[in-house]
Structure 1
Amino acid sequence: MKASDRLSIGELARRTGLAVSAIRYYETEGLLTAERNAGGQRRFLRSDIRRLSFVQIAQRFGFTIGEIREQLQSLPLERTPTKADWSKISRGFRHELDARISTLTRLRDDLDGCIGCGCLSLKKCKLYNPEDRARRYGSGPRYLLGDDPAEIGD
């Protein structure tokens, strides 16, 4: 690979919209790897533009640096990732996103009613969660955490 195929950290920052300090942070977290030129300056692959774009998107979806790192480890470092490589990563996140969407949908739909929290302060709780039956499955908002009210019944 030619030296001209690599980007300086400043160029990578301009191309991704990230601060240089953020790129350094992501490098220390193992999300990308830089080579050093003869002068000791970092040089990045052009494919790191996509890696960092993916990092930004994944963070907006609420994924942690560790979760992102785990997914990015499946990408090849010796070549630019292909569409198939990126599809594999997206499948890895799809299950988690589907679970989050399901939880948010339940939250939206049940926000004004009983959520199985055990407070028993609403009249509806006496019908929906009588005698705090949901507590059998643990503390907290059991129905929002995925417990099915139909299965909690006596």
Structure 2
Amino acid sequence: MHAILRQACSSRSSALLRPQIMRPRVFRAPQLSRTLVTKRYTVEHEAVEYDDATGLGVVCITDHAQSSLGDVVFVELPVLGTKVTQGDQIGAVESVKAASDIYAPVSGTIEEVNEALASQPGLLNKSPEDKGWLCKIKLSTPAEMEKLLTEEAYKESWESV
């Protein structure tokens, strides 16, 4: 038993006395990917937030639209897989005050819909541009985003009325 301990101690101490070889450290930069997220608006009060990394645009109504509608009681959403063209009707919103159609701000294919709105249409009032999003569209023509209004131009379009 002592022999094993002696051998272990001597091999460890001899390893400590050996000169260490210094190897140059290699710096590896993390791979960076550039993602551009653009939000644009329509004069009909829809907004789309486009992520160029995924090719998806998240469609919602604007805060101004929900405040004009009042308490939302029903939301009609598009069908998954539907191909839409910019300006096509993709759904509707009904409130205690009025009903309003929802139009596709961009062309593409409906990839996802916000199922929570079926049981909680009030999400459009509480969080229209976040939790109250309507659908996600895989854009077929991303250049259409440039035809839409910037936030400043959108605000000017309804503030001047």
| TM-score, normalised by the number of residues in structure 1 | 0.21
Highest Rg: 1 or 2? 2
Asked which structure has the greater RCO (Cα within 8 Å, sep 6+), the reply is 2
Q: Which has the higher strand share?
A: 2
| TM-score, normalised by the number of residues in structure 2 | 0.20
